[in-house]
Amino acid sequence: MLRYGTRRRGTPACRTDFSVNEAPGPRSRSGYRSLRRPYPNRERDMIDHRRLGRDLGLFTSDPLAGAGLPLWLPAGAAARHAVEEYLRDLERQAGYQHVVTPPLGRRELFERSGHLDHFAEEMFPPMRLSADDELVLRPSLCPHHALVYRCRGRSWRDLPLRIAEMGGMYRAERSGVLGGLARVRAISLNDAHNFCALEQVGAEVAEILRLIRVAHAALGVRPAGFRLSLRGPGQRYVGEEDDWARAEELLRAALDGVEYTEDVGAAAFYGPKIDIQVEDAAGREWTLSTVQLDFDKPERFDLSYIDSGGARRRPVLVHRSLVGSMERLFSYLIEVHEGAFPVWYAPVQLVVLPVAAAQDGAADEVVAAARAAGLRAEVDRSGSLGGRIRDAAQARIPYVAVVGPREAAAGHVSLRLRDGQHLAPLPAADALALVARVVATRSPKLLPPG
């Protein structure tokens, strides 16, 4: 079994989120290495999500809880929830249906899926409740989603059926390789399984790639490259030769207009796939987003639908993740933004600073109005004004609203932006509307357009 940090070939079940290539390697120099690198002129050693995560109070870990099991602190949880809500909305608008399934299941489920045959060493040992009752922490969500598919009869009218979940899964990583959020044992995956007829695969994958680009733009993800993994000689694959040829052709067509590399022999044994790589501050490439075709699981779970002529047919399964796991995504976002997230998922979007105790009431009113408008706002009255402004800058808070005697009397605030800009005093309601507009448009900038 190949381990993390090596190239995986012929991986037998859905491996969303897992492949990591230590860059620079000979293969990764080609093609997509020419795209813009996310850390152009920086001391990479200074950008480490573990250090930033601690300094910004995003997450922590405790030996008593266990390695690879980070605790998301209020600031990290606020940012993560904003991202999760965004992804759910994006998926809902694109016709996905969300489900909730448990992070563990009977041993037999993972025998059926093939995970126990192929990945047992990367799974936690089964929990034995009695001689014929063993539970397993799941290593992926596909088995449960296959059961969702077959919980009732399906017809061609149901397809493509897009089953999505931000779901928990587990991986028995060795303690030596765990670190921060990048390598963890408990994983929350942005996952979906799209069941479709073979002739729908091209349009479905093209739409998935569009969603991936939309999500990347909103989050500030800068892809290092797209990779199409195909069959190679001397390996065993499931499925019909004709279906593979058609599927590879459809994936190529879906990538039309995208710069990508082809990796012959890197397909999973169950189907070809497209991976979208990002590069972390240490120069390693990770798979963040993935689209994987699967001819195997529909067979294993005997999935079918009735086509328009009344015949029973097998659907194709497309595993896809727009942005991978929340853990790995945030390890990347923390580094690429150096903690200064776009306003829409900044943990605190606005901090209000009364200059003196006499403005406490006015500051509280601004915070209450901001929260009523759906913004994440706090008041800070501890210490000198200069000290509080420095604290806000250190916390990468996008907006600081200062309320002095003149502002309080007029119902105004003086707005200072994270990039150093100061705005002339303006009505508090206008300042909140400005922030709300930047949030609503998910702009990477601090001022709304126009």
CB contact burial 219-237 (16+ within 10 A = b; e otherwise): bbbbbbbbbbbbbeeeeeb
Q: How far is the CB of 216 from Zn ion (least distance, A)?
A: 20
Q: How far is the CB of 212 from Zn ion (least distance, A)?
A: 16
Residue 139 or 342 having the CB closest to Zn ion: 139
Q: Which residue is nearest to Zn ion (CB)?
A: 14
Cross-strand pairs, 407? none
Specify the residue for token string 């001397």: 234
Residues that bind Zn ion (CB under 5 A): 14, 142, 319
Q: How far is the CB of 142 from Zn ion (least distance, A)?
A: 3
Residue 270 or 305 having the CB closest to Zn ion: 270
Q: How far is the CB of 12 from Zn ion (least distance, A)?
A: 12
* Cα–Cα distance measured from residue 10 to residue 414, given in angstroms and rounded to the nearest whole number: 59
Residue 196 or 351 having the CB closest to Zn ion: 196
Nearest to 165 by CA among 250, 76, 87: 87
- Interstrand relation of 350-354 and 412-417 (parallel, antiparallel or unpaired): unpaired
Q: How far is the CB of 145 from Zn ion (least distance, A)?
A: 7
Nearest to 31 by CA among 231, 222, 224, 289: 224
Q: How far is the CB of 16 from Zn ion (least distance, A)?
A: 5
Question: What is residue 36's DSSP assignment?
Answer: P
Residue 114 or 354 having the CB closest to Zn ion: 114
Q: How far is the CB of 317 from Zn ion (least distance, A)?
A: 8
Q: How far is the CB of 237 from Zn ion (least distance, A)?
A: 18
Residue 273 or 319 having the CB closest to Zn ion: 319
Residue 18 or 305 having the CB closest to Zn ion: 18
* Cα–Cα distance measured from residue 151 to residue 407, given in angstroms and rounded to the nearest whole number: 61
The token pair that represents 244 in the structure block: 């593979």
Residue 316 or 438 having the CB closest to Zn ion: 316
Question: What is residue 124's DSSP assignment?
Answer: P
Residue 14 or 219 having the CB closest to Zn ion: 14
Q: How far is the CB of 319 from Zn ion (least distance, A)?
A: 3
Nearest to 394 by CA among 407, 380, 408, 404: 380
Range list of H helices, 220-296:
241-254
Residue 13 or 435 having the CB closest to Zn ion: 13
Handedness of CA 260, 165, 172, 13 (dihedral sign): negative
Nearest to 143 by CA among 120, 109, 168: 109
Q: How far is the CB of 137 from Zn ion (least distance, A)?
A: 16
Report the C-alpha dihedral over residues 231, 236, 239, 245, rounded to 10 degrees.
Answer: 20
DSSP letters for 75-109: HHHHHHHHHHHHHHHHHHHTT-EE----SEEEHHH
The amino acid sitting at 418 is: R
Dihedral-angle region of residue 338 (phi above 0 means left; psi in -120 to 50 means alpha; beta otherwise): left
Specify the residue for token string 């605790």: 71
Q: How far is the CB of 162 from Zn ion (least distance, A)?
A: 13
Strands across the sheet containing 127-130 = 104-106, 133-137, 127-130
Residue 271 or 347 having the CB closest to Zn ion: 271
Residue 96 or 344 having the CB closest to Zn ion: 96
* Cα–Cα distance measured from residue 295 to residue 269, given in angstroms and rounded to the nearest whole number: 9
